[in-house]
Structure 1
Amino acid sequence: MLNLKDNIFTIFIMLGQNCNLNCKYCMQHTLINTIQDKSVINDEIFDFVMHHADKQSQPIDIRFYGGEPLLYFNDIKDIVFKLKEANVSFSIISNGKLLSKNIVEFFNNNKFTSCAISWDGKNVLETRHYDVFKQKEDLLLQIKNLNVDGVISAYNSLDDYIEALLPYQEKYFKLNQKIFPFFNEIIMDAGACFSDLTDFNYEKVEEQAKNIIDNFLIATTKINEELTVKDKMYMLLLTMLCQQINNDNKNYTNSYCANGIHVLNLDLEGNLYQCHNNWIKIGSIYDDYDTYMSKAKKLDNMAAKNFVDSNCKNCSVLSLCKGGCPLVSSKIRQSTNFCKIRQTLFEPIINFINDALSVHGDFNKLKGKY
């Protein structure tokens, strides 16, 4: 059985490719050509996971992935039951359409450290054709470790997204005495995107980046007792971005997303893949170490080229963009606004954070007038 020597942070459990939505920007539309038949769980994947979990100082994040993972809820329950005593935690990325009371209770009672639900703000029907907060609000607010993932597109600007999330954050805070993390990823066109999704108003994007900074600065003038939920949202967002900037970019010259090396993509039969979005098989749990790693590192070099063989290494927003997803081809990058939207949104934020660090040394100490 494959015995990996590197630390394993995350194992995506690739349950299957079926989905009950048809999101306009889904990368899998072009990266997956054939829907595979449903697999029967190979019990030896549990031995593989537990072997590597025993070697880690921190629990491995077992992340359930699809398609839509809740279509495979019976498999999820089986896997959690088999692994719940191992050195692992669980997480899931779902569109939430199949959420039920029983599923929420299952998440809350079984070491799920993150239940990420996809939602794109007030114009979500334009991008996902389904509004999970409108349909499932009560259930979402009951998830102890809720996380909301949004895609930034022409229909969903970052500051507008925060405003759209605010009423749900306020209700969640009232119930749970905390706000839920929210993650915003700029749309990545792998060849399937509709042009209206990337028809950005760049002046608005830049203005909203500055609004984010202004709102953060307002929050820093307050003491904890005065902070509103909105203040907490801006502080959380800027703190997350600061942490990303502080990450050593040298790490990304070796591995952007670490897929195949520190992040494994494992199906129910025991096959291992380059990425959880493209299902390109690079080995299995039965490979020897050298054979598997040679394939994984060869494909991982796609990311390193963004830093060595292109203009990325000199880009002003590299510390947040990290060269972008290696699945987005050079041809698509050159024919779309892939770089422009990232530079417009990230540059004001990066400049602000770097200035704050130069003045205060520690971003977390920024208080009062900047």
Structure 2
Amino acid sequence: MSKFLKRKVHTVFLMLGNNCNMNCKYCLQHPLVTRQLTNKVNPEIYDFLKECAEELGVNQKLHIQFYGGEPLLYFETIKEVVKHTKDYCWFSVITNGKAVTKEMVTFFNTYNMPVTISWDGPNVLETRGYDVFAVEEKRKLLLDIEQLGLSAVLSSKAYPLEILAAFQSISDEYYKIHGYQVNINIDEIFNTGDLPEELLNLDYSKVEQEMLELGKYYLETRIGDTKTKLSDYTKLCYIDRFFGTLKRFYVEGDGKFNRSYCSCGNGYDVLNLDLEGNLYPCHNTSHQIGKISDEYFSYLNKVLAVDNTKLYKVKCDKCPAVAFCRGGCKLVSSKNRAEGYCRLKQAVFLPIVSVFEEYGRQMAGEVNGG
């Protein structure tokens, strides 16, 4: 009989601690973290992680996402965890990159570890207060990482086209070293409590126009006769994400938002675990929801109780952007949803929908002889 809470999970966010060496203006954790996490490892978490991995089957490994605060401040702990779990887990890191060292880069490459750098492009000093790629020593170290990713936050200080152009510049340099591109991601800013109004005051028309431009460019390049260039990479990669989302929602699914719990999976098939063995509904909060030794249904009821996704189910299903946001984040209040969260999701996604709808009408016209 299992010793620990039992469920089939594919990812565990291992929450190493709350300390950070930066003070990003849009940090989700500022209003949500109210206590320090332990930095001492409870050996029982290794048994728990092994059980989680065994549930996946012999041909799969459990994904451990190292998370902070700033995870590189806990590098010794990362090494310890990898040493104990490398036979049945694979690992990744989300970091601001400021603390990276040559030893860390060697370690990441040894374990084929994807490393994602949080970086917002040309105005990063206004959002994060530090530009890791502007420091030559750090830039060189980061470019030596064999599985490098870049992740930005779309805000009033960082719009899609300028982010993608900045990503492309880094990726071009990276390509010359490795022969392949970086991974990219752009998240939309959202308010979990006390974010500065200046970052939330977006020009939604600008977002919509840029997304429309990107959508049209994608169709011309991917579906038209335009030859793909290396300089197209970040734009096409970014829009590919939306194309895949539409396909999964409308073609592979039934085009309905049928979920009563958060689609990110946090607390369900994604667990958020600290080093002591405590569990959380999200890795961006210090509100403990259970322990690895809890009975499963007791734990699950607590997670469901703090998941507000079901409250918006009817309204979300009427919004075309639900294919993209999938009901949104459970950390966002009704007030903050109404004051900009949903509006930004729509500004990003609906122009892409309109482009593909127009393309579908054109194809239907050709088929029908129009």
- Give, in angstroms, the shift of residue 355 of structure 1: 4.9
2:367 aligns with: none
1:46 aligns with: 46
- For structure 2, list consecutive stretches of 5 or more residues without a partner in the other structure: 365-370
Asked if residue 325 in structure 1 is aligned to residue 329 in structure 2, the reply is yes
- TM-score in terms of structure 1 length: 0.89
Name the CA distance, whole Å, in 1 between partners of 2:116 and 2:197: 27
Deviation per CA, 1:55-89, whole angstroms, max 9, x where unpaired?
Answer: 20432210000000111100000000101111x21
CA RMSD of aligned residues (A): 2.0
Amino acid paired to 1:307: K
Name the CA distance, whole Å, in 1 between partners of 2:319 and 2:336: 18
Asked if residue 195 in structure 1 is aligned to residue 202 in structure 2, the reply is no
Matches for 1:210-359 after TM superposition, within 5 Å: 210-220=212-222, 221=224, 226-245=227-246, 246-247=248-249, 248=253, 250=257, 252-300=259-307, 302-308=308-314, 311-334=315-338, 336-356=339-359
Deviation per CA, 1:85-130, whole angstroms, max 9, x where unpaired?
Answer: 11x2101111110011110111111141x21110011100000001
Matches for 1:155-166 after TM superposition, within 5 Å: 155-166=157-168
What is the identity percentage for the equivalent residue pairs of Structure 1 and Structure 2?
36
Matches for 1:73-88 after TM superposition, within 5 Å: 73-86=75-88, 88=89
1:96 aligns with: 97
1:56 aligns with: 56
Q: CA, structure 1 residues 305+356, in 2 after alignment: closer, same or farther (shift >3 Å)?
A: farther
Q: How many residues align?
A: 351
Equivalent residue in structure 2 for 1:154, among 147, 153, 156: 156
Amino acid paired to 1:132: V
Name the CA distance, whole Å, in 1 between partners of 2:115 and 2:24: 19
The 8 Å contact of residues 280 and 288 in structure 2, kept in 1 or not, is answered as: yes
Deviation per CA, 1:263-295, whole angstroms, max 9, x where unpaired?
Answer: 000000111111100121111111122222221
Name the CA distance, whole Å, in 1 between partners of 2:157 and 2:208: 15
- For structure 1, list consecutive stretches of 5 or more residues without a partner in the other structure: 362-370
Bigger mean CA offset, 341-350 vs 261-270: 341-350
- TM-score in terms of structure 2 length: 0.89
Name the CA distance, whole Å, in 1 between partners of 2:361 and 2:80: 51
Name the CA distance, whole Å, in 1 between partners of 2:93 and 2:363: 37
Q: CA, structure 1 residues 356+214, in 2 after alignment: closer, same or farther (shift >3 Å)?
A: closer
Name the CA distance, whole Å, in 1 between partners of 2:220 and 2:102: 39
Q: CA, structure 1 residues 357+43, in 2 after alignment: closer, same or farther (shift >3 Å)?
A: farther
Name the CA distance, whole Å, in 1 between partners of 2:132 and 2:34: 27
Tell me the secondary structure at the aligned position of residue 111 of structure 2.
coil
Tell me the secondary structure at the aligned position of residue 236 of structure 2.
helix
Tell me the secondary structure at the aligned position of residue 82 of structure 1.
helix
Name the CA distance, whole Å, in 1 between partners of 2:324 and 2:44: 38
